[in-house]
Structure 1
Amino acid sequence: MFSLHLDNMKHPSVYLLLGVSVVLLTGGTVSKVSLINTPDLQQFFSGESMSLSCVEDGQTADGCTLKRTRGGTTEDCGASGSDFGVFKGSVCVLDLLSSYTGVYWCETSAGQRSDLINITVVHKEDRAFILEIPALPVMKGSDITLHCRHKDGSTHAAYFYRNSHIIGDKSKSQKIVIHNVQQSDEGSYWCSTDISGASPQSYLRVRDPPLPPTSSNLITASTSSGSGANDTAGYRPPTPSSPVSVLHLLCHLLVISPYCVCSILLALICCSRNSGK
């Protein structure tokens, strides 16, 4: 083991290596930014309201932009010349119109994105019913409840479908409760009645619960495979990845490897100076 003394560290390359090491260590952990929409629904009638906010590590994220894509155009909440929402404090509030159907997310100044959510807004003259279904991915093992809501605000007995198949007891129900949600429950859902047609379709996403950041999780991730979900309006998203992906593991390795190289070079420089070379 080498004994390093500050009075021997006068070579410019030593300071450079130390600086690189600090940057790599402090940049190795990236917090995940999340989009919170209230209420957590995918379908709305025009004239209703919804709010959006960005959260990072359980707190409101500073320097985060709320974005929307519709018709190939991306807009920022509260931007000049855009009708996309009004900020009230750190919350973006939307008075929904049918034209607000699109994909929503939040993005940090560093380019980190939250999950994308698909929002469908229908005019009451076009449809009588919408399906109340979560917009954000639901955790595996949780319970969710689906309702078929009429434009007057009441819930009606209806048939509920997933991927063209009736779910439940194949008769009309006031609601459908999916207990202990699993990956097999992912799919396109909608409801239908005998009198006023069907609701729009929305895709339910299921995710594994988040795992604590331990070394054993990284080892598990290196032996597992998966593909990240990348939702866009009108497309069925692929199977979501596990919380710790292979790409995440590679990012950690890319951070650790340069640090190890810097440490070795630092030790060699100090050793050379101590020997007078």
Structure 2
Amino acid sequence: MRNIDKMRLSALLLFCGLVCLGEQLSIKPAPGQDVDASRPTEDRVLQLQMEVDGPEPWSLSVGSSVEIRCSLSPGSDLEETEKLNLHLEKTTMSSIERLPTIPSSKGISYTLNPVSLEDRGLYSCGGVTTHPQITLESAHKLIWVNDSSPATSLEILKVSRVKYFYDKTFTIGCKLPNDQSEWKIMSASEKTGSITECPNQERSGDVLSCTIPSLPLPVSKTRRYDPFWCESSTRQKSNIFNMTQAEFAERDGRDLLVTRFEVTPAWFVREGDSVVIQCKVGLDKQNNSDKMDLQLIWTKRNPGNDMTVVLSQRASKPINHTINNITHEHSGVYSCWDDGTLSLFNLAWHHFIWVQDESPPVTINVLSHNRTQFFHNEEVTMGCQLPNDQSQWKLKGFDKWTGVIKECERSELSSSGLLSCTVKMGYPWTDFLFWCESTTGIRSNVLNMTNTVGFDVLEAPPLPVMEGDDLTLRCLRKNRATGEIKPEESMKTFFKHNSVTFKWSNVGSITLKNVTKENEGLYSCRPDDTVSTLDTYVTVKARPQEQKKTN
């Protein structure tokens, strides 16, 4: 795998798409009744939208005025013969109320004038149509009115570091007033339209608290926590607590620590090889290295994904660890992280050590392209031709950014036994591994994918090249205006083998004749007007004895 020695300073988003499956409905006409061929015979889901005309809905002031509008989202139009009945509801901890709305040009509306503390709640835009095969998807918004003198205040009590892949937990709580009412910490979801209690609440003296896990990836303004507040049985409430802003403030207030993680060899490991792992501090402006330990953590590839701290020592000294005579038992995810004793902002580094099988029983290949380097947000399809026990195989992936192994969410199995998966290359500058694996632990070869936000990639064969065959390498460029991808033929292009320039071309491609094991290694290309592409490892496989060419 490629070694990335740069700090990811911005939060990168993992977008996983959900595939919605619809079944066609067969409607039989009544005797003597004709079927209207123009009428849709499939279920349809139309999205509703809710707009609040006024300040931020989470921060309204007493005495202000806001209008709430409920309508169909753009692009969700109905036919003229289809009628729409909309309604607006307000949900609180104790009740659900249907509100008296008035018709508007596009739907219905409801006005809060003047706004009062009693208007706080989760508002939902719902409805039905006269068409039996149309479902309306509701929209929800929390409306919160600020209280100048709340009964109590909800705030962060403690931030705890959690080792390994998830960064921390927040403990939030409120100091309860001296009354006889029962208090709870509540949360509202604008996604599901529900108000729920924070799970695992604890009361110690006059403090009510609840612990919330951090989001698995760095939070961004487009991915928000649900809001929280304290509420009593007599409907007294605290302030509303915005966990997204709280995480930003907590993260930005921490000291920055940058670690470096090197694994050699980084790409291709065979049984019997020696692997050297180094974990060290690269940047520590606040001099925290003498106050904490660095840890080399190994997540094993077994059913329980057992985690082991291989080494732990003062961060002022690098961790150097060598695995001699490596076997498949050493496979897994290795991570370099601090021990969590200090509140530091430190993104973990992960590396999957994959010990290759010489002749895997199943082969995974890129089906949509002849390369393993891709542009940001480019879609790629890969697949394995499976043996007879097809149902026992899964297509899995590893993301070097998160350090997580999981099954491909968009995998499909054809009648011929081809297990395939299509993914969109998400986080730039990271590596992705993909392979097929059976429930008994039998696995295919591995594909190492890289992706970039740049405009050049190297096209090289994903599978090993046989000794004596030819190897063609092409430098591909993405047009900034049109998005078209084609060979770079307008300028001189340089090609590198193991970081050394060895050939150049005016047509954007080169062909190496009759390759040998000496041609194995890392390849990249560099058009004359830019920097080099990422590296791709090309493997050269020995030709079977009976197939060797004779003079």
**TM-score of Structure 1 vs Structure 2, range by shorter chain:** 0.5 to 0.7
CA distance in 1, matches of 2:545, 2:426: 38
Which residue of 2 is the match for residue 256 of structure 1? Answer: none
1:12-161 residue pairs with structure 2 within 5 A?
Answer: 32-38=361-367, 39-56=369-386, 61-71=390-400, 72-78=403-409, 85-87=410-412, 89=414, 90-98=419-427, 101-123=431-453, 127-152=454-479, 153-157=485-489, 158-161=493-496
Return the offset for 1:70.
Answer: 1.4
Larger RCO of the pair (alpha carbons < 8 Å, separation 6+)? 1
Q: Is the 8 A contact 2:459 2:474 kept in 1?
A: yes
CA distance in 2, matches of 1:171, 1:184: 21
Q: In the alignment, is residue 207 of structure 1 matched against residue 549 of structure 2?
A: no
CA offsets 1:71-99 (integer angstroms, 9 cap, x no match)? 32101112xxxxxx443743211232235
Q: AA paired with 2:405?
A: T
Which residue of 1 is the match for residue 225 of structure 2? Answer: none
Structure with the higher strand share, 1 or 2: 2
Q: Structure 1 pair 88/55, CA: closer, same or farther in 2 (3 Å)? A: closer
CA offsets 1:22-44 (integer angstroms, 9 cap, x no match)? xxxxxxxx981111222231101
Q: Structure 1 pair 180/149, CA: closer, same or farther in 2 (3 Å)? A: same
146-155 or 33-42: which moved more?
33-42
Structure with the higher helix share, 1 or 2: 1
39-48 or 171-180: which moved more?
171-180
1:161-240 residue pairs with structure 2 within 5 A?
Answer: 161-168=496-503, 170=504, 172-210=506-544
Aligned-residue sequence identity (percent) comes to 27
TM-score, structure 2 as length reference: 0.29
Return the offset for 1:144.
Answer: 2.0
Return the offset for 1:211.
Answer: 6.5
Q: Is the 8 A contact 1:77 1:87 kept in 2?
A: no
Structure 2 unaligned residues grouped into runs of 5+:
1-358, 480-484, 547-551
Q: Structure 1 pair 107/131, CA: closer, same or farther in 2 (3 Å)? A: same
Q: AA paired with 1:150?
A: R
SS of 1:184's partner is helix
Q: Is the 8 A contact 1:52 1:66 kept in 2?
A: no
Structure 1 unaligned residues grouped into runs of 5+:
1-29, 79-84, 213-277
CA distance in 2, matches of 1:122, 1:211: 40
Q: Is the 8 A contact 1:53 1:60 kept in 2?
A: no
Q: AA paired with 1:185?
A: N
Q: AA paired with 1:134?
A: P
CA distance in 2, matches of 1:211, 1:118: 29
Q: Structure 1 pair 40/61, CA: closer, same or farther in 2 (3 Å)? A: farther
Question: What's the Cα RMSD here?
Answer: 2.6
Q: Is the 8 A contact 1:86 1:94 kept in 2?
A: no
Return the offset for 1:47.
Answer: 2.8
Number of residue equivalences: 172
Return the offset for 1:177.
Answer: 0.5
CA distance in 2, matches of 1:209, 1:61: 29
Q: AA paired with 1:45?
A: F
Q: Is the 8 A contact 2:365 2:447 kept in 1?
A: no
Q: Is the 8 A contact 2:434 2:446 kept in 1?
A: yes
SS of 1:181's partner is coil
